[in-house]
Amino acid sequence: MVLHQLYIVKHHEVFLTVLFNTQISDNWPGYSLDLFTYPQHYYGDLEYVLIPHGIIVDRTERLAKDIMQDIGDNDIVVLCVLKGGYKFCADLVEHIKNLSRNSERFISMKVDFVRLKSYHNDQSMQDMQIIGGDDLSKLTGKNVLIVEDIVGTGRTMKVLLNNIEKYKPKMIKVASLLVKRTSRPDGYRPDYYGFEIPDLFVVGYALDYNEHFRDLNHICVINDHGKAKYRV
């Protein structure tokens, strides 16, 4: 029991340092799966918990506050990138609404959805498809907040931004829950992000692997067994 408590304290102290910089280092060992509850059908498919759900919620609330301070008093079209961004988007919008209700700076928000397809199994594809969403011409002259789950090389987001910019919105901001440090960065950084993480394939909190793991509340690292089990 004493060793178990020391393990928790040690990891808590390390993660407080991580949170201060919002950067998770390459040597961050993560949290043991034994410390959390998660769906039993994923037992044996995960390496460790990278970011617990509670930490995600707290960080999202802070991002909402930053967005409120920057672009309050404006009508905003929130463009949620499906499917991985829906939980982050829902929580972020709810936090902004709560802050707006108790502030003199009111934000009126309309939420629309678009889907980007750029992965096959755990490999990024060269071509990206933009699926769904209302007529993007409706974004002309509007303040647009794109909400994404994760930005890797930045190539996918730059393609989406280029498509939206053709319609001359008044403003475009991007909020991403995660930014991944990759060996092939494309020189793009979102305006707001929750955490910078190592170049790992992560699942949970609506991030998926072939449509699995969206029901996992924590952000976790998938193991080789899990990749093989759900490969298509």
Write the DSSP string, 120-159.
ETTEEEEEEEEE--S-GGGGTT-EEEEEEEEESSSHHHHH
Report the pLDDT value the prediction gives residue 20, as an integer from 0 to 100: 46
pTM of the model as a whole: 0.84
Beta bridge mates, 147: 80, 175
The contacts of residue 214 (CB under 8 Å, 6+ apart) are: 83, 84, 204, 206, 207, 208
Report the pLDDT value the prediction gives residue 95, as an integer from 0 to 100: 95
DSSP 3-state percent helix, strand, coil across the chain (nearest 5): 35, 30, 35
Report the pLDDT value the prediction gives residue 47, as an integer from 0 to 100: 97
Q: What is the DSSP string of 203-224?
A: EBTTB-BTTBSTT-SSEEEE-H
The encoded tokens of residue 32 equal: 């043991």
Q: In 3-state terms, what secondary structure has residue 172?
A: strand
- Cα 198 vs. chain centroid, distance in angstroms? 14
Q: In 3-state terms, what secondary structure has residue 164?
A: helix
Per-residue pLDDT of the chain (232 residues; tens, 9 = 90+): 443 443 444 454 444 444 446 899 999 999 999 999 999 999 999 999 999 999 999 999 999 999 988 887 788 999 999 989 999 999 999 999 999 888 887 788 999 998 876 655 555 555 666 766 567 888 999 999 999 999 998 888 998 999 899 999 999 999 999 999 987 777 789 999 999 999 999 999 999 999 999 999 999 999 999 999 999 9
Does a cis peptide bond (omega within 30 degrees of 0) precede residue 97? no
Report the pLDDT value the prediction gives residue 81, as an integer from 0 to 100: 94
Helix (H) or strand (E) holding 175: strand 171-180
- The full set of domain ranges for the chain reads 21-229
The contacts of residue 3 (CB under 8 Å, 6+ apart) are: none
Q: What is the CATH number of domain 21-229?
A: 3.40.50.2020
Rounded to whole angstroms, the Cα distance separating 192 from 199 reads 19
